[in-house]
Amino acid sequence: MENEESIIIGSIVSVGKYEILYATAPYIDESNGEIENVQTVQYLNNAHVKYNEVHLHYKIDWKENGKSINAINFSMPIDKKHLQDIFVTTPYGLIKKNRTGIGATTLELNSPRNSIVVVPTRALAYGKAINSKIDEEINKYRVLYVGGNITGFSVPDISTYLMDDSIHYKKFIVVADSLPKLLNIIGKEHYKDYFLMIDEIDSYQYDCSYRPKMEDVMDYYFQFPLNHRCLVSATIGEFSNRDIEEEPVINVQFDSSQSRSIKLIHTDKAEIRLKKLIEEMVSANPNDKFLIAYNSVKGCATIINSLSDSLKSECGILCSSKNEEITEYYCDIVEDKLPKRITFMTCTYFVGVDIIERFHLITAINVQKPHTLLSTDKLQQIAGRCRYPDGVLSETIIYTTKNSTNTEGHNDLPKQIIKDAEMIASFGNSYPVLKRLCPNSYYFKEDFIEKDFIESTSKRYLGAKPIQLVRKNIDGVFVPSFFNIDFVRIQIDLLFKLYSAPDSLANALKAEGHIIEQCNCVENEDISANIIMQTNEDFQQANILQREELISILREERTIEARKAKARFLITQRISMQNSLFLNHFIELQEYVPFESLIDKLAIYGNNADYNKFYNFVIFWALDEAHSLKVTMKEKFPINGFFKSAQLTENFNTIYRGLLNYPNHPNLTPNKAIHLIKHFCTLSDRTSTRINGKPINGYRILNLNPFELEGEPLSRIPATTSVNRLLRF
């Protein structure tokens, strides 16, 4: 923002993307009751301030004095608790509200203009929309919910709502995944007629790794005019996306800190310690409620199953609706109150949910399950779910740590990841152009398959969860997946800083002003292996029952295209992640494998590693008989042929470096080569035979159908098709 024109005259401050307008207004000095005229902010980044009612103090954090600004900081007046007490409309830019429960979403939903508020979860959207009902007789709401289906909640369609003249200002609250649907109906030419708020923006950094479409929201965000958009969260950190970093920052400050009294329990086994603590606290506080934050649905169910029958009956789990049919403990918030005396919750409920009663809060963090790791900001958000004036009854955090010795260079890693992603995205965008320019080039002879390209950019950094470095934006251009990169940065910070030593979390919380009581517990037992096994079986059986229902629905369709459309629809419904994966696999292979055979095989080869082997074989099986790969495999690996390990390796390396087009890769080792051969051939166990009277150890080729597919493929892959980019190694 350097070198942008600055205007600072009289009652106007206009520097880069920041705008402040002063006014002179009467102000009552509460110390003596006298009225005096003072200068106060009238407009802040196009937001109308209630300057006749509040005297808004602010301070500019200058990047370069008089020329460029880092942020505008303003202090919440001591007697005001909500942004609606200060503003009529929301300022544009990146709003760091630094505290939960100050009503940023409520301000925009009540503002006198058309608004679109985007939230990360269905539960959050539903909670804001349900209370805006206008007519009890019909399904008419002032704020229209746009998102996946919710049982028992029916709303008008978008077009009907837009046509309703009795609702002057149109207010949409939309789940992130459903934003494209809404904007397609509104039309790009009408973006200027709406203010777009992206709420809880920090959660996109955490969730994008398993909800990749969430980052598309930012593509739409930047299509709205600068003064018609804002990003909001109570806990905003750094962003890899430079465009977000260049948004004007409004920083809400408070005279008093939100200091919390927290008991920290460091342990070597999080789940057994959590079980014991629940039993102890429930017994000691028979009339109180408990909220347990643990971001593992199966982990929550395992702990519940380890409790006595009487306590089990008092337990429930607040989690994604995709788990409704998967665990018997699934439940919903009831009138802003906890549904059970002992309520567990996962990350779906970590943001945006208001609970208007007191409870004991227990948060569990288990380094053995990296998705349960939480930053201090997230811990603050979780504590902020309690909207009772006196706060929670108590707060306890159970956590484990992992000594991370290989820390060299991790501070500079995010910058390197961005460079990697930019380079790969540039290659993806250039490939089709280069192929047109050099159609006969060895390097550009292959077809470019976008899905495979994006999947191939998945990479693991310093033990964090693998992430895809690039994505395709809404304009069809490959770009770095900045939220995925943010996720890696956050995970690395958590692993190498916050949870690398027992005192690290305590010191971080103390630095934020919290009162910390520490203790250490070493466990000499664990959750019963029988309970863990039974819980796993319960989840698996629930997934199987749900999958059978999905299969019945698919079976009713008569064509491949109809089944593809139905499967894509079912993915958007309340089904488990495991069954979403099943449907995606079904869509991918149903054009080759007959329906009944495919669903049987997918049930067997469900996890990613097994599925990739099955997928590779299906592609091979579906090849035209004249395809060079199929012909060569039959020549190199004839049925009943006997080969020493070295011969198998040599034969497959010839194919790997030739037909499969990996000329620059090193030769495969025997173990790796034999592993890949098993994608296409059934090998005997290592055995011995006599050749020319001498015993030889090796393998026999039993068949070229290791997955026992019967009949013929529904369709064939032409003999001219290059398959190296189709196969997954």
Answer whether residue 407 shows pLDDT above 70.
no
The larger pLDDT score, comparing residue 590 to residue 492, is at: 590
Model confidence at 393, in pLDDT bands (50, 70, 90)?
Answer: very high
Answer whether residue 201 shows pLDDT above 70.
yes
Model confidence at 594, in pLDDT bands (50, 70, 90)?
Answer: very high
Model confidence at 505, in pLDDT bands (50, 70, 90)?
Answer: very high
pLDDT tens sequence across 506-527: 999 999 899 999 999 999 999 9
Interstrand relation of 694-703 and 642-643 (parallel, antiparallel or unpaired): antiparallel
Structure token pair of residue 575: 């089904």
Q: Evaluate whether 160 touches 167 at the Cβ level (below 8 Å).
A: no
The larger pLDDT score, comparing residue 52 to residue 192, is at: 192
Answer whether residue 150 shows pLDDT above 90.
no
Nearest to 590 by CA among 567, 608, 556: 567
Model confidence at 1, in pLDDT bands (50, 70, 90)?
Answer: very low
Q: What local confidence, expressed as pLDDT, does residue 80 receive?
A: 79
Q: What local confidence, expressed as pLDDT, does residue 25 receive?
A: 62
DSSP secondary structure string for all residues of 497-562: IITSSHHHHHHHHHHTT-EEEEEEE--S--S-HHHHHHHHHHHHHHHHHHHHHHHHHHHT--SHHH
Tell the burial category of 295 from Cβ atoms under 10 Å away from its Cβ (0-12, 13-18, 19+): buried
pLDDT tens sequence across 437-491: 887 776 666 666 677 788 778 887 776 667 889 999 999 999 999 999 998 888 8
Mean pLDDT of 663-677: 83
Q: What local confidence, expressed as pLDDT, does residue 3 receive?
A: 43
Cα atoms in the 13 Å half-sphere on the side-chain side of 553: 16
Structure token pair of residue 695: 């015993």
Q: What local confidence, expressed as pLDDT, does residue 7 receive?
A: 62
Answer left, alpha or beta for residue 33, where phi above 0 means left and psi between -120 and 50 means alpha. Answer: left
Q: What local confidence, expressed as pLDDT, does residue 545 receive?
A: 93
Q: What is the mean pLDDT of the chain?
A: 88
Eight-class DSSP state of 194: S
pLDDT tens sequence across 604-653: 998 878 898 999 999 999 999 999 999 999 999 999 999 988 999 999 98
Structure token pair of residue 565: 């459309």
Q: Evaluate whether 482 touches 239 at the Cβ level (below 8 Å).
A: yes
Spell out where 646-686 has E strands: 682-683
Mean pLDDT of 263-281: 97
Percentages helix, strand, coil for the chain (3-state, rounded to 5) are: 40, 20, 40
Give the integer Cα–Cα distance in Å for 615 and 676.
12
Q: What local confidence, expressed as pLDDT, does residue 459 receive?
A: 82
Mean pLDDT of 176-184: 93
Q: What is the pTM of this model?
A: 0.79
Mean pLDDT of 408-433: 84
Q: Evaluate whether 262 touches 515 at the Cβ level (below 8 Å).
A: yes
Q: What local confidence, expressed as pLDDT, does residue 2 receive?
A: 42
pLDDT tens sequence across 528-571: 999 999 999 999 999 999 999 999 999 999 999 999 999 988 88
Nearest to 344 by CA among 291, 297, 302: 291
Q: Evaluate whether 44 touches 91 at the Cβ level (below 8 Å).
A: yes
* Dihedral angle sign, alpha carbons of residues 698, 613, 576, 562: negative
The larger pLDDT score, comparing residue 689 to residue 66, is at: 66
Tell the burial category of 285 from Cβ atoms under 10 Å away from its Cβ (0-12, 13-18, 19+): middle
Least confident of 70-74, 336-340, 437-441, 446-450: 446-450
Structure token pair of residue 223: 């299509």
Answer whether residue 248 shows pLDDT above 60.
yes
